[in-house]
């Protein structure tokens, strides 16, 4: 007999199935929601971690930049950055030469751009006044081998197993004190250069050679064999010039093994400052020693190499002293200087030999321009817009567009949007670029570095286009034909700017004085006979002698050469009121001296002011967080009044 189903049983079962389905859907929805929430939280957390890491890396880059820049400025050799005036004599100078070795150079080019400033100066690791870290500077220095057949090679053959650095110790590879070759040289003195190109801030260091002290020997800066032969002289074993030097890869003291290298690629093997020395048509690199820090024009009969003279500096043209900062005269694109990538290219070669045009094999190219890659007129270059490398030195075919083997070794900071350097203008009481057009709104006086106060408009990276936008501490004995007209003009021996407490009036334009006609003060006049003067008010300059070129009759025009020493550098303040005498007294040439003139008493004082401080600003982008970071550093430049 069939059992009868209870009423409503089927509907209850259906409801239970429906509830189970709803519960499953709700559970799935909750799970999906929770997974979505977890994914969102994980994404937010990951983004936050990535952003925090980017911020931390950005902070680290900022700290690294600030640390390196402060260290460089703290180690500057120019402790009292006062530009030298023409003919300044250390025996009679109002300011000691002791605190003014080396140089400081600043070129700002377009004052409205923060991407075309170049800063270059000398540094000394042994200066511990502001920074107690005396670690020397290091750079590449490969082991030089002797190419001759009858000197060190014979010595090496007669003494097998002898260290090659013991056979020829006067070379950069030994300067770090390690007799076992390690490819490294060192010095406490260096030149440092900073500039931006293609969004990258470069910091290039070249060592000023300080040979290792060896008992009983006094090595010069030029590397030589134990027998006095020039290791960079470019002579082969028979004495024939080919311009090459030998790299001793086998470390046996000679260049006889097939694995040794003959090359003329100086900056690929040495991070040392050098100039091109040419004698009898034979050119080779001449290394610069620490004695070049001296700015004494009387040292060694005035013939010593000095870095205060621009023609001896890294990156400056030896013919006219201009810094190579642009591609060409016709269409000047700022390059700042040559990077490691370019100077290590196989066809750069300077200063050991002439640079060459690139070709497929990199060893048979024609001379590039005049052969001097620092000559902007005769050796224009072009930029590869994709990477900012100079196309003429962008490497061989295998490395097209990247440069030589040492690329990026001088890179300090990437993604840079601004690198601006400004100097303190005391008369304006603010930071400005040299060659500005600003006046003090309260007094109406032009700033100390106003373009109208520039006394050497010829000097700068671009002839007739620099417009006085260069600050340079100069050298008292510069004799360089900057404009290339065949004569050394009076203004070419003068630094671009010397800041004065008081300015003398300029009475003609040859050379342009520090205060042209109509220039707002504070201008003081020259001494006059029989004139009343008031203590605490009047300041005068020694009267100029109106004898143009030593001739007669006078022409009534002012000439810098007619100013008696020390020209504008010493001024005289009235300390006792009275009337001047009928003839000019003998004016003291040193500060702090008093003289009686009629019923007046004058006191001499140093009328110049050194550069007080610099402000360096860098802006750079962090691509991870897409944020901009700016760092501004104010660097005091003067230790104390000398």
**In the prediction, which pLDDT does 427 show?**
93
In the chain, how many domains are there? 1
Higher pLDDT, 486 or 521: 486
State the pLDDT confidence band at 512, using cuts at 50, 70 and 90.
Answer: very low
| Gyration radius from the chain CA atoms | 34
Letter string b/e over residues 454-487, b meaning 16 or more CB atoms within 10 A of that residue's CB? bbbbbbbbbbeebbbbbbbbbbbbbebebbeeee
Nearest to 487 by CA among 467, 510, 469: 510
- Residue 287 within any structural domain of the chain: no
- Mean pLDDT, all residues of the chain: 86
- At which residue do the structure tokens 């027998």 appear? 227
Residue 144: how many CA atoms within 13 Å on its side-chain side? 33
pLDDT at 509 over 50: no
> In this structure, is residue 582 part of a structural domain?
yes
Q: Please report, rounded to a whole number, the percentage of residues in the chain having pLDDT higher than 70.
A: 84
Lowest average pLDDT, out of 258-262, 288-292, 351-355, 368-372, goes to 258-262
CB 190 within 8 A of CB 182: no
Backbone angles phi, psi at 335, to 5 degrees: -115, -15
Nearest to 206 by CA among 226, 186, 222, 181: 186
Find the angle CA(403)-CA(407)-CA(411) to the nearest 5 degrees: 135
pLDDT-wise least confident of 92-106, 186-200, 393-407? 393-407
More confident residue, 44 or 106: 106
pLDDT tens-digit readout, 425-436: 999 999 999 999
Q: In terms of residue numbers, what domain contains 579?
A: 518-606
Residues facing residue 146 across a β-bridge:
254
- The Cα–Cα gap between 446 and 506 comes to 15
392 has a pLDDT exceeding 60: yes
Find, among 247, 288, 261, 278, the residue nearest to 353 by Cα.
Answer: 278
- Residue 588 corresponds to which tokens in the numbers above? 């003291």
Q: Which pLDDT belongs to residue 623?
A: 76
Q: What are residue 316's phi and psi, to 5 degrees?
A: -110, 145
Mean pLDDT of 317-343: 95
Q: Look at residue 598 and tell me if it is in a domain.
A: yes
Residue owning tokens 């075919």: 397
389 part of a folded domain: no
Task: Specify which residues 422 forms β-bridges with.
Answer: 615
The candidate with the shortest Cα–Cα distance to 272, out of 458, 144, 452, is 144
Output 508 or 639, whichever has higher pLDDT. Answer: 639
Which H or E run includes 340? helix 340-343
Residue 367 forms part of a structural domain: no
pLDDT score recorded for residue 520: 59
Q: What is the pLDDT of residues 151-164, one digit of tens each?
A: 666 666 666 667 77
Q: What backbone torsions phi and psi does residue 597 show, to the nearest 5 degrees? A: -135, 100
* 578 in any annotated domain: yes
Task: Please state, as a whole number, how many other Cβ atoms lie within 10 Å of the Cβ of residue 624.
Answer: 13
Residue 302 is predicted with a pLDDT of 58
Give all strands (DSSP E) within 542-590, no chain letters.
570-576, 578-579
Longest Cα–Cα distance in the chain: 158
pLDDT at residue 447, as a whole number = 92
| Alpha-carbon span 352 to 232, nearest angstrom | 8
Would you say residue 555 lies in a domain?
yes
Does some domain include residue 180? no
Whether the per-residue pLDDT at 551 is higher than 90: the answer is no
């Amino acid at each position: 007999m069939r059992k009868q189903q209870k009423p409503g049983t089927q509907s209850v079962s259906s409801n239970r199935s429906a509830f189970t389905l709803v519960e499953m859907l709700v559970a799935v929805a909750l799970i999906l929601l929770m997974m979505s929430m977890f994914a969102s939280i994980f994404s937010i957390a990951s983004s936050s971690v990535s952003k925090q890491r980017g911020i931390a890396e950005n902070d680290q880059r900022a700290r690294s930049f600030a640390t390196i820049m402060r260290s460089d400025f703290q180690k500057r050799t120019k402790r009292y950055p006062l530009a030298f005036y023409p003919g300044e004599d250390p025996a009679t100078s109002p300011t000691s030469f002791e605190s003014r070795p080396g140089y400081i150079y600043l070129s700002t080019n377009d004052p409205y751009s923060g991407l075309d400033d170049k800063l270059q100066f000398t540094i000394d690791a042994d200066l511990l006044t502001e920074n107690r870290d005396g670690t020397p500077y290091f750079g590449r220095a490969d082991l030089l081998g002797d190419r001759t057949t009858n000197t060190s090679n014979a010595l090496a053959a007669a003494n097998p197993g002898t260290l090659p650095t013991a056979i020829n110790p006067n070379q950069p590879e030994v300067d770090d004190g390690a007799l076992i070759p390690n490819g490294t040289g060192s010095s406490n003195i260096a030149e440092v250069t900073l500039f931006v190109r293609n969004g990258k801030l470069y910091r290039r260091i070249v060592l000023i050679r300080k040979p290792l002290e060896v008992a009983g020997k006094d090595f010069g800066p030029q590397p030589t064999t134990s027998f006095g032969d020039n290791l960079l002289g470019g002579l082969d074993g028979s004495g024939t010039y080919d311009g090459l030097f030998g790299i001793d890869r086998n470390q046996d003291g000679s260049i006889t093994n097939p694995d040794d290298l003959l090359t003329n690629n100086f900056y690929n093997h040495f991070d040392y400052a050098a100039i091109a020395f040419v004698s009898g048509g034979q050119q080779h690199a001449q290394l610069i020693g620490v004695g070049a820090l001296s700015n004494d024009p009387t040292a060694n009969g005035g013939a010593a190499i000095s870095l205060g003279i621009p023609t001896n500096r890294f990156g400056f043209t030896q013919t006219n002293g201009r810094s190579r900062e642009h591609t060409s005269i016709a269409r000047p694109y700022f390059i700042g200087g040559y990077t490691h990538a370019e100077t290590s290219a196989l066809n750069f070669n300077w200063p050991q030999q002439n640079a060459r045009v690139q070709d497929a094999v990199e060893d048979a190219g024609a001379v590039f321009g005049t052969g001097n890659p620092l000559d902007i007129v005769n050796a224009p270059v072009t930029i590869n817009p994709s990477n900012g490398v100079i196309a003429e030195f962008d490497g061989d075919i295998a490395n097209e567009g990247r440069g030589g083997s040492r690329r990026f070794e001088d890179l300090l900071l990437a993604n840079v949007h601004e690198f601006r350097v400004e100097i303190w203008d005391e008369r304006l009481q603010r930071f400005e670029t040299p060659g500005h057009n600003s006046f003090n709104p309260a007094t109406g006086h032009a700033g100390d570095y106003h373009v109208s106060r520039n006394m050497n408009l010829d000097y700068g990276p671009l002839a007739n286009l620099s417009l006085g936008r260069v600050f340079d501490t100069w050298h008292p004995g510069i004799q360089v034909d900057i404009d290339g007209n065949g004569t050394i003009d009076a203004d070419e021996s003068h630094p671009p700017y010397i800041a004065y407490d008081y300015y003398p009036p300029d009475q003609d334009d040859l050379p342009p004085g520090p205060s042209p006609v109509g220039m707002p003060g504070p201008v003081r006049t020259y001494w006059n006979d029989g004139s009343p003067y008031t203590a605490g008010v009047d300041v005068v300059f020694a009267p100029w002698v109106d004898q143009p070129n030593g001739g007669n009759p006078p022409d009534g025009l002012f000439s810098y050469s007619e100013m008696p020493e020390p020209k504008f550098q010493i001024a005289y303040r009235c300390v006792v009121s009275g009337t001047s005498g009928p003839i000019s007294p003998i004016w003291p040439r040193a500060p702090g001296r008093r003289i009686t003139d009629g019923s007046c008493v004058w006191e001499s004082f140093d009328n110049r002011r050194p550069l007080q401080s610099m402000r360096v600003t860098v802006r750079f982008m962090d691509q991870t967080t897409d944020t901009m970071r700016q760092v501004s550093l104010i660097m005091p430049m003067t230790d104390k009044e000398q």
